[in-house]
A = this chain, B = another copy of it.
Amino acid sequence: MPTYKAPVEDALFLLNDVFQIERYNNLPGFADATPETIEAILAESAKFTEHVLQPLNRVGDTEGCTRNADASVTTPKGFKEAFKAQGEGGWLGISMPEEFGGQGLPKVLSTIIGEFQVSANQAFSMYGGLTQGAVASLLVHANDDIKKTYVPKMIAGEWTGTMNLTEPHCGTDLGLLRTKAVKQADGSYKISGTKIFISAGEHDLADNIIHLVLARIEGAPAGVKGISLFVVPKFLPKADGSVGEHNGVTCGSIEEKMGIHGNSTCVMNYDDATGWLIGEENKGLPAMFVMMNEARLGVSVQGLALSEVAYQNAVTYAKERLQGRSISGVKNPDKPADPIIVHPDVRRTLLSIRAFNEAARAFVIWSALRADVARKGNDEKEKQAAEDHMNLMMPVLKGVLTDTGFANTVAAQQMFGGHGYIAEHGMEQFVRDSRIAMIYEGANGIQALDLVGRKLGQNGGRAVMTFFNDVGAFIKENAEDEAMKPYIAPLKASLGHLQQATMWFMQNAMAKPDNAGAGSNDYMHLFGLVAMAYMWAQMAKAAQKKLANGANGASDRLNAKLVTGKFFMERMLPETGAHLARITTGADTVMALPAEAF
């Protein structure tokens, strides 16, 4: 059975030593987030995720969700109690506004807790994650009545939320959606249509389920400019806030899928269901887009979280499994064999996963802090820079962290040999669960296209130029620091590759957009590597500083940081050259064949 230990120390190192969270004390909510408070909350979250959520991960996979004859859905044993405990513990409201029952703490904190929850139990975490996403959307766009009716109960975990976008013929291309909304005399709408792949669409964890639904108001323009956003509760709320009659929305079936079996993925049928407009008519898509950056950050975290828990279990196995002898001489003479962690290829695998995990965690925390500034900042220039960061980096984070996170679960599974293929060790579940994150919230190919086709050129390339300047400045500042050389030189080379690739797009993709499309995936991964190298350089700097100051008993951990960062530079960063080479071959060969030739 797999185990999990939340990486509290690593998160604290990032918050305190690398990103120095005390610098943000002038922002709302940050003053309350003292180092002691943060440590206490993370420690408590570690307990809850390790002892309550993680033990339910396997049963969630084996039992899955069941749709009953009356269209209700039963979740796996133990999920209901755990969800209640999660709500009562306040875990859904950490970064939610205090006026609706939240704790008003920084987004970065709920992001870190999100990682712990997903590592412990991805399928379970989605019920709360989608609820938080729906709340965020309501907070920005809904009127006060709707907010008051729904948000406090959702933050308390008494009600949950969903997002209803996809239809059978319409996934990425939302302009094709057909679900219709007909305005009623009382200002409400009747919603009809079919939505698919609705995570947490129906279940038995909460008293009500609040669906956010994209639909087309009768007579609205075709395409994406005729889409509106509605709130459609499963049970219509009564004036006193309790639940009333069942609305015209039911779960038609639940999907048989590769993983995340503990989460119910539903076909939802809307049949004259009563709903209320959120925001303006025909502005549903922009309303969704506002939330999309944070939703993408959440999915990025899933990539990291599964990579982390898979790593931890692979390490345990590699230390315990005795098989073969070290090629540099027997390490375990009293035993019939050495533990497999003596083998360089096993270490290479483990370090690859770890070097990604620690850089990805830094990238996530850095970006969550930027999200806090974007939402709460009081300096307009800083706010804009933070928004630029979110727009530019979210496709990179989502695409790279979920692609690599998935690949890492596969690599961790490989450490187990045949035992990794067997269900009881839980490694194959990590692979099946993590696979979804590459797909939902915009498939990774779409993330790459969003990056090169939209984000790169936005505002004259302001965001990417800022990133280049920031990294360049860091390189310059540390150019003379001998101890930083193993990190700075590779960072500089890889930044050069990224800049060349960016320049190549500028020169070759304007006239021929296929050149951007053909290089988009490589560019996204090249960008991700450079961003992670920048994270590693900053972590190395912080670790060296802390070591120089006495390390406070953490010198083993800090030395491991330095080695892992060096591994990243030596073994993972060389890929940037290959990405650049591929990008600059352009689209000619990629587009040469007629479709029939495939």
Contacts and interface: CB of A to CB of B under 8 A. Distances in A.
Contacts of A347: 518, 590-591, 593, 598
Q: Which of A337, A421, A424, A438 has the most CB of B within 10 A?
A: A421
Contacts of A171: 323, 417-419
Nearest to A325: B173
Interface in A385-410: 406, 410
Contacts of A479: none
Copy total for this chain: 2
A476 B305 CA distance: 51
B517 A257 contact: no
Interface string A565-598: 0110011001101100110010101111101011
Contact of A257 (B170, B428, B438): B428
Nearest to A344: B517
The secondary structure that dominates the A interface is helix
Given A257-B421, A424-B256, A348 B438 contact: no
Contact of A422 (B173, B256, B349, B420): B256
B560 A324 contact: no
Given A345-B518, A517-B327, A257 B423 contact: yes
Contacts of A578: 574-575, 577-578
A422 B521 contact: no
A42 interface: no
A585 B598 contact: no
A345 B439 contact: no
Interface stretch (A32-40, A372-380, A429-437): A429-437
A345 B521 contact: yes
Contacts of A590: 344, 347-348, 351, 567, 571
A17 interface: no
A439 B418 contact: yes
B319 A595 contact: yes
A435 B422 contact: no
A556 B428 contact: no
A422 B345 contact: no
Contacts of A514: 327-328, 344
30 contacts: A166-B418, A172-B323, A172-B417, A176-B337, A255-B422, A256-B422, A258-B423, A327-B453, A327-B516, A328-B512, A339-B595, A344-B517, A344-B520, A345-B517, A345-B520, A346-B445, A347-B518, A347-B598, A348-B521, A406-B410, A418-B440, A421-B439, A428-B432, A560-B597, A563-B592, A566-B589, A570-B585, A571-B589, A571-B590, A575-B578
Interface of A: 166, 169-173, 176, 196-197, 255-259, 315, 318-319, 322-324, 327-328, 336-337, 339, 341-351, 354, 406, 410, 413-414, 417-424, 428, 431-432, 435-436, 438-440, 443-445, 448-449, 453, 512-514, 516-518, 520-521, 556, 559-560, 563, 566-567, 570-571, 574-575, 577-578, 581-582, 585, 587, 589-593, 595, 597-598
